[in-house]
């Protein structure tokens, strides 16, 4: 993981203010007949351009103020990614960093047991760095063994060993899983769910207390030390709930970790969907639950790109089997979807009301966001430490789309036409 200079709170505030104040003024798309009793997004929290108005329009059209609103099991649905969408920085990575600093990773019998795609080179590197003196199932001394912590972080973050060799190989559906994401809950095999939740709480409290922009050393890696719930997103979630929406989190992180963080914005465990590990005899295993008719596996299917659509269709709408992978009719799709990365692009695109994108320069979701094929995409700079403008255009017409086999191709609209390359327009100062 690369280190980067820490920003002071003042610098972040000035940059954010400049970003949002420079946003182009646009017409308010909300209907003029809104009742003042309708739940409203705060006017005190800045959004880019007309994004607040776009979200409010959907709230008004689908929520309790709409004559078409239906309660109970027919309530409109909003779904959001978690990391870097609702919260700044990655809560899973924060939990891993905390666990490494507190010797909470248990030694597996063989590192190759943790992932079906782990390369022999990664297995050897992890075995050499972490050693075999610690009994199987006992905590590795990662707080003092920098080499072991480094190899774990490098495999998780860069999918390679510290010497630069690939950490994963083989075949997998690149729109349904990615081995280094699936590896995270597998790292916590042997722990109880309650233990993992406790680690997540400790990591969360520590990150929320750390100054914005601060960093920490884990092994020899420099990683973010802080996190923040975005005020705009907390307000959005509250407003949606007041307006009669069911609000869900759909994350490619470990479910117990995401559950501990999501309750900070008023979302309970039932509404938090993430990677579900198989638990046996009270302990987390390296196996994960499948989706859309796929069996239990070692991470072959997780909430990742198309896997997030499957998770929503199956666990929210009750659609089973192969049909859960398909785009559904409007009655069985979310009203609002929000994300920041290509892992979110499918379910965000499925939304029938507003597609909210936080700009982290990820190609497919940015191509679709800027193309704005249905006029309902809302691209926003990150609310804290927004990225500067991307100098090159997004290669939408040639290699913005990741195929199931991992090769790259053009991003296409629903009608099959190719999305032209797009320039970055919603960015930080």
Distance, CA of 74 to CA of 64 (rounded, Å): 12
Same domain, 329 and 247: yes
Distance, CA of 355 to CA of 82 (rounded, Å): 15
pLDDT at 36: 52
Same domain, 243 and 378: yes
Same domain, 299 and 402: yes
Same domain, 189 and 102: yes
CATH number at residue 385: 3.40.50.1000
Same domain, 267 and 329: yes
Element (H, E) at 176: none
414 belongs to a structural domain: no
Give bridge partners of residue 89 from the DSSP assignment.
Answer: none
pLDDT in tens, 11-47: 333 333 334 333 443 434 444 444 457 899 999 999 9
13 belongs to a structural domain: no
Kindly report the number of other CB atoms within 10 A of residue 243's CB atom.
Answer: 24
Same domain, 327 and 340: yes
Choosing from 176, 202, 224, the residue where a domain stops is 224
CB 121 within 8 A of CB 161: yes
Choosing from 224, 255, 271, the residue where a domain stops is 224
Distance, CA of 50 to CA of 29 (rounded, Å): 8
Q: Does 6 have pLDDT greater than 70?
A: no
416 belongs to a structural domain: no
Q: What is the mean pLDDT of residues 75-101?
A: 97
Residue keyed to tokens 């690939």: 166
CB 64 within 8 A of CB 48: no
pLDDT in tens, 168-188: 999 999 999 999 999 999 999
287 belongs to a structural domain: yes
Same domain, 69 and 119: no
12 belongs to a structural domain: no
pLDDT at 228: 98
pLDDT at 145: 98
Backbone angles phi, psi at 288, to 5 degrees: -130, 150
125 belongs to a structural domain: yes
Residue 199's domain comprises 91-224
Lowest-confidence segment of 26-40, 155-169, 335-349 by average pLDDT: 26-40
Same domain, 110 and 249: no
Same domain, 252 and 383: yes
* Residues belonging to the chain: 429
Same domain, 168 and 290: no
pLDDT at 70: 77
Same domain, 101 and 208: yes
423 belongs to a structural domain: no
Choosing from 200, 224, 248, the residue where a domain stops is 224
Q: What pLDDT band is residue 65 in, cutting at 50, 70 and 90?
A: confident
Number of domains in the chain: 2
311 belongs to a structural domain: yes
For the chain, count helices (H), then strands (E). 13, 14
Same domain, 219 and 83: no
């Amino acid at each position: 993981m690369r280190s980067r200079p820490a920003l002071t709170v003042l610098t972040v505030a000035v940059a954010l203010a400049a970003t949002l104040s420079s946003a182009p003024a646009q017409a308010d798309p909300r209907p003029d007949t809104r009742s003042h009793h309708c739940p409203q997004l705060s006017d005190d929290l800045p959004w880019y351009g007309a994004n607040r108005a776009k979200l409010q329009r959907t709230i008004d059209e689908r929520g309790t103020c709409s004559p078409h609103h239906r309660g109970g099991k027919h309530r409109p649905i909003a779904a959001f990614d978690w990391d870097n969408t609702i919260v700044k920085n990655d809560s899973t990575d924060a939990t891993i960093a905390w666990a490494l600093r507190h010797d909470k990773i248990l030694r597996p019998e063989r590192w190759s047991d943790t992932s079906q795609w782990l390369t022999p080179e990664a297995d050897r590197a992890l075995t050499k760095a972490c050693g075999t003196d610690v009994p199987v199932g006992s905590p590795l001394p990662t707080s003092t063994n920098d080499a072991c912590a480094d190899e774990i972080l490098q495999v998780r973050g860069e999918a390679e060993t510290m010497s630069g060799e690939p950490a994963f190989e083989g075949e997998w559906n690149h729109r349904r899983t990615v081995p280094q994401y699936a590896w995270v809950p597998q790292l916590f095999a042997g722990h109880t769910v309650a233990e993992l939740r406790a680690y997540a709480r400790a990591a969360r409290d520590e990150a929320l207390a750390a100054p914005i922009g601060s960093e920490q050393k884990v092994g020899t890696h420099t990683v973010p030390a802080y996190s923040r719930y975005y005020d705009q997103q907390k307000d959005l979630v509250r407003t949606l709930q007041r307006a009669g929406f069911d609000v869900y989190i759909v994350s490619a992180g470990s479910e117990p970790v995401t559950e501990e963080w999501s309750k900070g914005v008023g979302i309970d465990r039932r509404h938090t969907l993430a990677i579900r590990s198989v638990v046996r005899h009270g302990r987390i295993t390296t196996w994960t639950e499948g989706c859309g008719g796929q069996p239990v596996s070692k991470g072959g299917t997780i909430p990742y790109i198309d896997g997030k659509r499957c998770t929503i269709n199956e666990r929210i709408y009750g659609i089973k089997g192969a049909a859960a992978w398909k785009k559904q009719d409007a009655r069985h799709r979310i009203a609002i979807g929000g994300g920041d990365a290509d892992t979110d692009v499918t379910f965000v695109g499925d939304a029938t009301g507003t597609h909210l994108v936080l700009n982290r320069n990820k190609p497919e979701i940015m191509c679709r966001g800027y193309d704005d094929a249905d006029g309902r995409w809302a691209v926003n700079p990150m609310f804290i430490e927004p990225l500067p403008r991307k100098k090159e255009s997004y290669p939408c017409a040639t290699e913005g789309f990741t195929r199931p086999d991992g090769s790259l191709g053009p991003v296409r609209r629903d009608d099959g036409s190719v999305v032209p390359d797009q320039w970055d327009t919603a960015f930080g100062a």
